[in-house]
Amino acid sequence: MELKNATVLITGANRGIGLAFAREALARGARKVYAGARDPASVTLPGVQAIQLDVTSDQDVAAAAALAKDVTLVINNAGIAAIGGFLAEDSIESARRHLETNLLGSLRVAQAFAPVLAANGGGGLLNVLSIASWINRPRLGVYGMSKSAAWALTNGLRHELREQGTQVLGLHMGFVDTDLTRDLDAPKLAPEDVVAQAFDALEAGAEEVLADDATRQVKQGLSANPASYLLA
């Protein structure tokens, strides 16, 4: 689908990748950009319409879908990432928090906006995923679990939404230079580069985009022997 004249809704649009999505959507000629955030006052980008949207809130999501009835592209970007593996003392509670935002939040938004997209010709749904959809390490074990689940959700939604003509794109990448990764000592991608690749793929009709070499290598290695997810 084309970004020019599109009406875009972005979750977690006040900073990081979400803010980069909002800027690039405007630059590519989007007619309107709804910038969702838990606190609308935190959205300061000129040219967007800030809306209250906590993806863990049924009420917020329903209100957003009732307000933004002209949306043609939904970007499920809101997410959390906390350090910790499965054997940490707080791993159960951490898993609940991660799944509520990274999995159920995306599902909640997709359910609410699927009829809106159908009414507006199909449009598109872009889910922000991760290299951690395919590999899991103790440092980000719980986060990786939530992104693996979100990848499965994306694949399932793609089949369910195909009949109504909605393009579903999964975006996978390694670490991106945002607030979420501030304390991580690792190579990081620029949010603007990730977003540009995602929108290029969307406009080309793609269903998946791998935004860096590491992610492409991991995906290719899923069928290797030994598989990439088995390597330490």
3-state helix, strand, coil in the chain (%, to 5): 50, 15, 35
Domain 7-223 CATH class label: alpha beta
Contact criterion met (CB below 8 Å) for 48 and 23? no
Q: Which two tokens stand for residue 65?
A: 């879908």
pLDDT tens for each residue of the chain, 232 residues long: 999 999 999 999 999 999 999 999 999 999 999 999 999 999 999 999 999 999 999 999 999 999 999 999 999 999 999 999 999 999 999 999 999 999 999 999 999 999 999 999 999 999 999 999 999 999 999 999 999 999 999 999 999 999 999 999 999 999 898 876 676 777 789 999 999 999 999 999 999 999 999 999 999 999 999 999 999 7
Q: What predicted TM-score, i.e. pTM, was given to this entire model?
A: 0.96
32 catalytic? Reply is no
Selected catalytic residue, list 4, 34, 147, 188: 147
Q: What's the full length of the chain, in residues?
A: 232
143 catalytic? Reply is yes
Q: Which two tokens stand for residue 93?
A: 């509670």
Selected catalytic residue, list 4, 69, 143, 219: 143
Provide the pLDDT for residue 56: 98
Q: In what order do the strands lie in the sheet with 32-37?
A: 49-52, 32-37, 7-10, 73-76, 124-128, 167-172, 208-210
Name the residue ranges covered by the structural domains of the chain: 7-223
